[in-house]
A and B are shown apart, each in its own frame.
Chain A
Amino acid sequence: MYYAATAAILVTMALALTRALLGPTVYDRVLAVNMFGTKTVLLVSIVAFLSGRPDFLDLALAYALINFVGVLAVLAFFQKKRHYERPR
């Protein structure tokens, strides 16, 4: 059953990547990257458990924290850019 869950997560990662490639607006791509990040956390958790080494779960924890900061950074800089591009 672990293998089936891992396969589902890998397929979802491929779907999220397609959305990142296709998405017409920027926000679609940011959404896809956020989704990709949480799926990576799940993938790493399952594989860490499958290979019987629970100390590899630190990687999943690190990634869960970093993904959030990445999304906030995108939004902060996009806001900055929009402020400067506004017609005066």
Chain B
Amino acid sequence: MVTLFGLVLLTLLVVTAVAIVITPNLFVAVMLMSIFSLLMAATFFILDAADVALTEAAIGAGMSTILFLSALALLAEREQRSPGRKWLPIAVVALTTLTLIYATFDKPRLGDPSAPVHQHVAPWYLEQSPVLMEMSNVVTAVLAGFRAYDTLGEVLVILTAGLGVMLILANGRPERSRQGSAPVAGGLRHHLVPRVVGQLLIPFIVLFGLYLQFHGEFGPGGGFQAGAIIAVGIVLHSLLEGEAAGRAILPTRVLVGLMTGGALLFCAVGIAGMLLGGNFLDYAVLAVDPVAGQQLGIHLVEAGVGITVTSTLVAAFHAFADREPAA
């Protein structure tokens, strides 16, 4: 039964992907990308990967769509076809596709316990998470505990991306609209119903993000998902009240400070481990009881991830939404 649902979702996915490539109107492509993200999230969910599905829904269908739309508001809607030979890219893509399809012939069946991926470290992680960390969500235990060095790299990549966007796009001071009270600064302020309902929802969205952040040890959740959802809440406020109000609440200085602060918190936890006698990012020495130390380390590290992700996404949104299209 699950296979049948999965097949239906994958068919819709292929149809959407083909439509995204074919359509010349970029706005339509962005709308279809949102549907694509939803289909991916539903597929991940049917395959029992709840953490990944939550991240895909929060980032793909939420923040990604908003960022694409804010960029598209500055540009033309029609794609500009580049003249040139079409047969070379098609040949390369077709060759790669056929090679990949051939490579899937040897794949083990889904959920096969004797597959290579289930043989090496995976059983060890599954056995040791309740013993070493007493954490029921193994994904968080692996992400923030056993493989924390990798997650540190991810946080630094997010920080670099945020700083890159700001260096390229943002000015020192926000651009003032030359036409006076333009909708750029107004947002949806003049539309009463969405504004009231949206303002009612903002605290719930932020609260739900905080719930996911701290509940990540027991259920689907964690720093990345929580960061994306809190960013969506803050962006909703900017959309409703206008850019000026959004900037007044979280100025650029504060956003940059939060971005770097989150990454620094992560590194500080690692260095604290070294100073207390263990290795870098060794959490067992952070408290008297090694299990409590592991949990404390994971809490702090996930908080750092959440802070960096939130501030990067909000800064990227402000960098795009503040600009006005070239006249």
Contact = CB atoms under 8 A, between A and B. Distances in A.
A10 B6 CA distance: 10
A72 B194 contact: yes
Interface in A1-40: 3, 6, 10, 13-14, 17, 20-21, 26, 29-30, 32-33, 36-37, 40
A4 B324 CA distance: 49
B74 to A, nearest CB: 9
Contact of A66 (B46, B61, B220, B240): B61
Interface in A31-66: 32-33, 36-37, 40, 43-44, 47-48, 51, 53, 55-56, 58-59, 61-63, 65-66
A62 B15 contact: no
Nearest to A3: B1
Interface string B26-55: 011001101100100110011010100110
Given A13-B12, A17-B15, A73-B65, A59 B5 contact: no
Interface stretch (B108-116, B142-150, B229-237, B273-281): B229-237
Interface residues of A, number: 47
B183 A10 contact: no
Contacts of A78: 73
Contacts of B15: 17, 21
B265 interface: no
Interface in A54-88: 55-56, 58-59, 61-63, 65-70, 72-81, 83-84
Contact of A80 (B16, B183, B229, B236): B183
Contacts of A75: 188, 194
Given A40-B42, A43-B42, A56 B220 contact: yes
Which residue, of A72, A76, A84, has the highest number of chain B Cβ atoms within 10 A? A76
Interface of chain A: mostly helix, strand, loop or mixed: helix
Contacts of B45: 44, 47-48, 56, 59
A70 B5 contact: no
A70 B34 contact: yes
A13 B187 CA distance: 31
B37 to A, nearest CB: 10
Interface stretch (B93-101, B158-166, B200-208): B200-208
B151 interface: no
B72 interface: yes
Given A30-B31, A66-B58, A81 B73 contact: yes
Nearest to A81: B73
B293 interface: no
A55 B220 contact: yes
B175 to A, nearest CB: 13
Given A20-B31, A44-B45, A63-B57, A37 B38 contact: yes
Contact of A73 (B9, B19, B239, B327): B239
Contacts of A79: 183, 188
8 contacts: A3-B1, A13-B12, A65-B204, A65-B232, A69-B239, A70-B65, A78-B73, A79-B183
Given A70-B65, A77-B73, 8 more contacts: A10-B5, A13-B12, A21-B19, A55-B220, A63-B61, A66-B58, A72-B188, A80-B183
Interface of A: 3, 6, 10, 13-14, 17, 20-21, 26, 29-30, 32-33, 36-37, 40, 43-44, 47-48, 51, 53, 55-56, 58-59, 61-63, 65-70, 72-81, 83-84
